[in-house]
Structure 1
Amino acid sequence: MGRGQELYNRAKEMIPGGTQLLSKRPEMFLPDLWPAYYSKAKGCEVWDLDENHYYDMSIMGVGANVLGYAFDEVDQEAKRAIDCSGMCTLNAPEEVELAEKLLKLHPWADMVRYAKAGGEAMSVAARIARAYTGKDLVLVCGYHGWHDWYLSANLVRGDPLADVHLKGLKPAGVPRGLAGSNLIFHYNDLEEFQKLVMEHEGEIAAVIMEPIRNDDPKPGYLEEIRKITRAGQIVLVFDEITAGFRLCAGGSHLVLGVEPDIAVFGKAMSNGYPVSAIIGRKNVMEAAQDTFISSTFWTERIALAAAVESINCYRKYRVEEHQKRIGEKVQEGWKAIAEKTGVKIHVSGILPLSHFEFEYDNPLVYKTYFTQEMLAEGFLAGTGLYISLAHTEEIVEKYLQAVHRVLGKIEEIRRKGGDISDDLKGAVCHAGFERLN
């Protein structure tokens, strides 16, 4: 057990769940063996507390570091902002600079508000939409955070969020009066969406959805949702926190060709600095003045400065082209290796956010073994890879060679009639939300 796991065991005594973010729990990757903490990171290279070196071929800061870790040009701007003081009685001019930049990228939008995290930004968007329409009901597709407005979906019978996020998310602490205030629909199921709109005609404040995540929209799907929401005077909100700054500089909806009333950004927009943005049409966004939406640290200067420079660098280095090229190399590499070794996997996801799944019984056993062996090869790796500018052709080639060796081991074990679980050095990774006692 390394220093990281030792520290994590201490953390679980003091921090509910062990970490601040479900996606960073070591149990999600490799229980008892995942390094857990980093001492430093640069590009896509990571050093743990024992100074072991790894290439991050996993989720790259949960999708936040699209330029790579400790990107010099962005960090220099953040340091400049620190030297000027990150907080003051007066406002930071970067608030206006970032707003102008976002609105230039999105000509359909007129106004901008900021927050720090993606989840709270989605809460702001939901509040604005409800304030604008004077209605309560929200139709929801995809994952949008942990706040009451979203998690209240699970106050009704069944487990509505199981198909769109995680199974077993208990809405403990969410006021029961919110039951029925949002209803789930599934991506690319236009008939289901149309039925919900008809059943609740005149009651819907907003449709909140990710324009794209794992699958491309079916032809006409987003266009029809736009048509229906416009006809019903329903606010259309696109959650671009995950997809934004992956397919282009700005929101994925720019590539998909459908304009919302509100779009929300975070993650890749600032390359690891905590800031999110809610942009939208003037008539809708001005409803923020009719309700109370305010927080001291939304005015903090450092992350705003970092976001401005991150967008500059994204455009300067044509990051979307790099993500596409490397994403194609990764996905085609996975498929070719699977065919050569005979291991059955299913490859999916948009190119910047690539995934594969093992097509066997107990796929989590295979995923855990894969992570275990890739760690021994010097890679932080699971069955998903978020592409960054730091993922060079050379690094990806090394990664694919290691994938070939590990999948080859899996097929050899299977060919000999062995059980993959016998070769695990610890417990099987978690699939989703599990309470840590």
Structure 2
Amino acid sequence: MGKGQELYKRAKQIIPGGTMLLSKRPEQFLPENWPAYYSRSKGCQVWDLDGKEYIDCSMMGIGTNTLGYANEEVDEAVMRVIRDGNLTTFNCPEEVYLAEKLIELDPWAGGVRYTRGGGEANSVCIRIARAATGKDKVAICGYHGWHDWYVSVNLGDSDALAGHLLPGIPPAGVPKGLRGSTIPFRYNNFEELLDIVNHNELAAIKMEVCRNFGPEDDFLQKVRDLATERGIILIFDECTSGFRETFGGLYKKYGVEPDMAIYSKTIGNGYAICAVVGRKDVMNAAQRTWISSTFWTERIGPTAALATLKVMERVKSWEVITAIGNSNKQRWQALADKYGLEIEQWGIPALAGYNFKSKNHLAYKTFITQEMLKRGYLAGNSMYPCIAHSQEILDDYFFELDKVFAQIRDFEDGKDVMKSLDGPICQSGFKRLN
């Protein structure tokens, strides 16, 4: 057992759930054998606590590092402000510079507020929308964090959030009085949303622009027109999708502007910074309610964002990672076709993945992670590319993955996959740890 697994055993004794983020639990990757912790990183390389090097062909910090780990230009900007002081009684000027840059990118917007986590940024949006409209209820489509307003969807009799990325989210601890205040609707189902709007006074329609598939039948424009007609604030949650296919929100691809948008994950290249941008009249409602936090004023986040946006704009990172993602999708399909395996692909190119159409799909995902780890790769059934994923790295990754797909063909032909696993099958969705 490596140092990472040893440390994770200690962590589970004192950290409920083992990690701060469900998506980083070793059980989500390779139970009992995932290295779990890192000592350093660079580009798309990560070193574990035993000093072993891996190429990250997985989620690159859960989608945060599109410029690669430890980008020198971003890190140098951060180190300068650390040397000069990260937080004082005064405000940092970078928060103003960043707000000006974001409004330049989103000319429809006239106000910006910051947080340091995506979940709290989503909550800020809901608070502002409710303050601006004087209404309480919200219609949602997509994944929007861990806070009460969102998880209250699961206070009903069904796992209503199961269709919004993560099944099994428990509503324990969420006040039962919030039941019915947040109402889910399915992507591309305009009639379902229209029925919700017709029977509820909504403050906001809050949704991801797209996650696993794109809009059909002019869906986004219909939502925009409905929100405008009924005086409902339209919020696009771009925490995950922003700056991956366009320089800004994914909404730019479809030509549909929201009233508010959230940027997170990518804009600080691994440093904690989230931005809520919105129309001036909407954002001014923040002054009629209480939204304030000491560490939203620290200097590292906006400094990292300014440096990240500068590098992104120069190298056109969104074009690079989209091209890599499109190539990955073609090559995954080519491997599946080569070995007569059925897969179903999902996600925009820079957030793409695939599932095997098999009752053993989770076992196959676990097997891929296990075998690719032995070959020096962090890899499962998805890849969030960064600009450090060179053609040579990708070619080597697919060379090794070819061998693993060949073994999965053997499993489909009758060989027992369970006998080839070194530990349990990976988890999917929320599960309580013992």
TM-score range, shorter chain: over 0.9
Question: What do the CA deviations read for 1:11-37 (whole angstroms, capped 9, x no partner)?
Answer: 000000000000000000000001100
Query: Which deviates further from its counterpart, 374-383 or 344-353?
Result: 344-353
Which residue of 2 is the match for residue 388 of structure 1? 386
| Aligned amino acid, residue 391 of structure 1 | H
Which residue of 1 is the match for residue 432 of structure 2? 435
Which residue of 2 is the match for residue 217 of structure 1? 215
RMSD value over aligned CA atoms? 0.8
How far 1:344 sits from its partner (Å)? 2.1
Give the whole-Å Cα distance in 2 for the aligned partners of 1:8 and 1:41: 19
| Aligned amino acid, residue 313 of structure 1 | V
Which residue of 1 is the match for residue 101 of structure 2? 101
The 3-state SS of whatever aligns with 1:364 is helix
The 3-state SS of whatever aligns with 2:63 is coil
Give the whole-Å Cα distance in 1 for the aligned partners of 2:246 and 2:203: 29
Report whether the alignment pairs 1:155 with 2:162.
no
Question: What do the CA deviations read for 1:338-397 (whole angstroms, capped 9, x no partner)?
Answer: 111222222221111111001111311111111111111111011111111111111111
Give the whole-Å Cα distance in 2 for the aligned partners of 1:180 and 1:156: 8
Give the whole-Å Cα distance in 2 for the aligned partners of 1:236 and 1:45: 39
How far 1:235 sits from its partner (Å)? 0.4
How far 1:166 sits from its partner (Å)? 1.9
Question: What do the CA deviations read for 1:135-192 (whole angstroms, capped 9, x no partner)?
Answer: 0000000000000010011112211101112222111111111111000001111111
Query: Which deviates further from its counterpart, 346-355 or 276-285?
Result: 346-355
How far 1:43 sits from its partner (Å)? 0.5
| Aligned amino acid, residue 268 of structure 2 | S
Of residues 304, 307, 315, the one that matches 1:306 is: 304
| Aligned amino acid, residue 261 of structure 1 | D
The 3-state SS of whatever aligns with 1:62 is helix
Which residue of 2 is the match for residue 418 of structure 1? 415
Report whether the alignment pairs 1:32 with 2:32.
yes
Q: How does 1:338-353 map to 2 (within 5 A)?
A: 338-353=336-351
Of residues 257, 281, 284, the one that matches 2:282 is: 284
Unaligned runs of 5+ in 1: none
| Aligned amino acid, residue 66 of structure 1 | T
Q: How does 1:12-411 map to 2 (within 5 A)?
A: 12-200=12-200, 203-411=201-409
TM-score (normalised: structure 2): 0.99
The 3-state SS of whatever aligns with 2:349 is coil
How far 1:126 sits from its partner (Å)? 0.3
The 3-state SS of whatever aligns with 1:219 is coil
Give the whole-Å Cα distance in 1 for the aligned partners of 2:192 and 2:80: 50
| Aligned amino acid, residue 427 of structure 1 | P
| Aligned amino acid, residue 435 of structure 1 | R
How far 1:219 sits from its partner (Å)? 3.4
The 3-state SS of whatever aligns with 2:311 is helix
Give the whole-Å Cα distance in 2 for the aligned partners of 1:344 and 1:222: 31
How far 1:89 sits from its partner (Å)? 0.4
Give the whole-Å Cα distance in 2 for the aligned partners of 1:346 and 1:401: 21
Equivalent pairs: percent with the same residue?
Answer: 51
| Aligned amino acid, residue 377 of structure 1 | R
How far 1:421 sits from its partner (Å)? 1.1
Which residue of 1 is the match for residue 9 of structure 2? 9
How far 1:213 sits from its partner (Å)? 1.2
| Aligned amino acid, residue 181 of structure 2 | S
The structure 1 segments of at least 4 consecutive aligned residues displaced by more than 3 Å after TM superposition are none
